[in-house]
Chain A
Amino acid sequence: QQQVKQSPQSLIVQKGGIPIINCAYENTAFDYFPWYQQFPGKGPALLIAIRPDVSEKKEGRFTISFNKSAKQFSLHIMDSQPGDSATYFCAASRTTDSWGKLQFGAGTQVVVTP
């Protein structure tokens, strides 16, 4: 059973648009929520992460919004560029659970057209 549900499965935006990816979780023991970016043939790479005591975090053009009461979090890619075309995974983990083994969402394939 998937502990983190991610949507949409794919999305296409034009350059400069703002793709938004949403994730939901059930386990309230999760205390770390990272987003990973994966290019074809490569392993996932950490993009940005948030803890549940913060409602928003920005790093460059990437922003995480976190809603603890709704058990949802989302990734916004501001001013998207063709180089942002990749698959994005949300994940969740618990500090005390195997030093943070990750539960991943199913992924969102993002295509940014020129």
Chain B
Amino acid sequence: GAGVSQTPSNKVTEKGKYVELRCDPISGHTALYWYRQSLGQGPEFLIYFQGTGAADDSGLPNDRFFAVRPEGSVSTLKIQRTERGDSAVYLCASSSTPRTSGHNEQFFGPGTRLTVL
């Protein structure tokens, strides 16, 4: 079946502009995560959705970042007034409802490379 898809694959924007990054999770996966990966670093957690609600947004760096998942499937990460420091690869991951044994594998998309000029 199809994996996690993210669009666009690349986004170049100018400082101060608004951008939206889209994530299509694996069908039926209720959990969705956004991570940010800076050059030469590991992914850093941004936000976690369980269904339609943002259950944990503790990783969002500031209020310029916002994410939605209105129907419990597709999610959009929104960045206002972009800054050069926002340049990174934004990764989306999804997983199915955890069993009582705990962890379910997170499946990652290919990411969106955001470049802010």
* A binding-site residues for B, Cβ under 8 Å: 4, 6, 31-32, 34, 36, 41-46, 49, 89, 91, 93, 95, 97-107
Asked if B117 is at the interface (CB within 8 A of a chain A CB), the reply is: no
Which residue of B has the minimal Cβ distance to A108? B42
Can you list 13 A-B pairs with a CB-CB distance of less than 8 A? A4-B42, A43-B4, A43-B108, A43-B109, A46-B107, A99-B31, A99-B48, A99-B95, A99-B103, A100-B103, A100-B104, A102-B35, A106-B42
In the complex, chain B residues whose CB is within 8 Å of the CB of A34? 105
Cβ of A46: which chain B residues have Cβ within 8 Å of it? 105-107
B110 touches A42 (CB 8 A): yes
Residues of A within 8 A of B35 (CB): 102, 104
Task: Tell me if A107 and B103 are in contact (CB < 8 A).
Answer: no
* Cβ-closest chain B residue relative to A32: B103
User: How far is B40's CA from A45's CA once the two chains are assembled, in angstroms?
Assistant: 17
Which residues does chain A contribute within 8 Å of B98, judged by CB atoms? 95, 99-100
Check A104/B102 contact, CB under 8 A, given A43-B108, A45-B108, A99-B50: no
Q: Closest Cβ of chain B: how far from A43's Cβ, in Å?
A: 3
Known contacts A95-B103, A101-B56; is-contact A43 B42 (Cβ 8 Å): no
Q: A31 touches which one: B33, B42, B44, B102 (CB < 8 A)? A: B102
For A98, the chain B residues whose CB sits under 8 A away are 33, 48, 55-56
| Contact of A41 with B110 in the complex, beta carbons under 8 Å | yes
CB of B91 within 8 A of chain A? Answer: yes
